């Protein structure tokens, strides 16, 4: 069985910190972002194969927000577009400030647990999916 959560972030709130806080508050062990519609006044994202994040201020539409969520570690990617339609995306970092709104819908599984650990396939801690009764 799955639970669905919907909430709205308001101007000035931090997108990543707010999602992390929501996941912790609801004790979500295996969740995913279904959709997000909104805008940012500031972004901070890490582009592919880069060590540091890049940031800018302005007005940006959130055109995509996807990711796996867990109190054991989340992994979220963001795509945004500027006033000309130029779109960029990457790994969501702290520092993405809401401009007008962010309407977020998250689904969580009551049967799964997401954890992050090294499995030898990459140098990083990657998603491991377990059944709740196998913990």
Q: Kindly list the structural domains of the chain, giving each domain's residue range(s) and its CATH number in brackets, ordered by start.
A: 2-134 (3.30.1330.80)
Residue in 100, 130, 77, 129 with CA at minimum distance from that of residue 9: 100
What whole-number distance in Å separates Cα of residue 28 and Cα of residue 15?
A: 17
Give this prediction's pTM: 0.94
Output DSSP code: residue 132.
Answer: G
How much of the chain exceeds pLDDT 90, in percent?
A: 95
pLDDT digits (tens, 9 = 90+) for 25-81: 999 999 999 999 999 999 999 999 999 999 999 999 999 999 999 999 999 999 999
Q: Phi and psi (nearest 5°) for 124?
A: -105, 165
What whole-number distance in Å separates Cα of residue 14 and Cα of residue 77?
A: 15
Confidence of residue 134 (pLDDT cuts 50, 70, 90): confident
- Report the pLDDT value the prediction gives residue 1, as an integer from 0 to 100: 83
pLDDT digits (tens, 9 = 90+) for 118-132: 999 999 899 999 999
Name, in order, each residue with C-beta under 8 angstroms of 13's C-beta and a sequence gap of 6 or more. Answer: 97, 98, 102
Mean of all residue pLDDT scores within the chain: 96
């Amino acid at each position: 069985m799955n639970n669905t959560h919907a909430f709205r972030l308001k101007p000035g709130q931090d997108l990543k910190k707010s999602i992390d806080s929501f996941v912790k508050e609801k004790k979500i062990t295996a969740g995913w972002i279904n959709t997000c519609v909104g805008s940012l006044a500031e972004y901070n994202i890490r582009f592919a194969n880069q060590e540091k994040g890049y940031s800018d201020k302005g007005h940006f539409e959130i055109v995509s927000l996807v990711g796996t969520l867990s109190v054991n570690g989340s992994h979220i990617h963001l795509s945004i577009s500027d006033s000309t339609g130029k779109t960029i995306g990457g790994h969501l970092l702290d520092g993405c400030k809401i401009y007008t709104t962010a309407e977020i819908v998250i689904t969580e599984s009551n049967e799964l647990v997401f954890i992050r650990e090294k499995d030898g396939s990459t140098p990083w801690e990657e998603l491991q999916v377990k059944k709740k009764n196998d913990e």
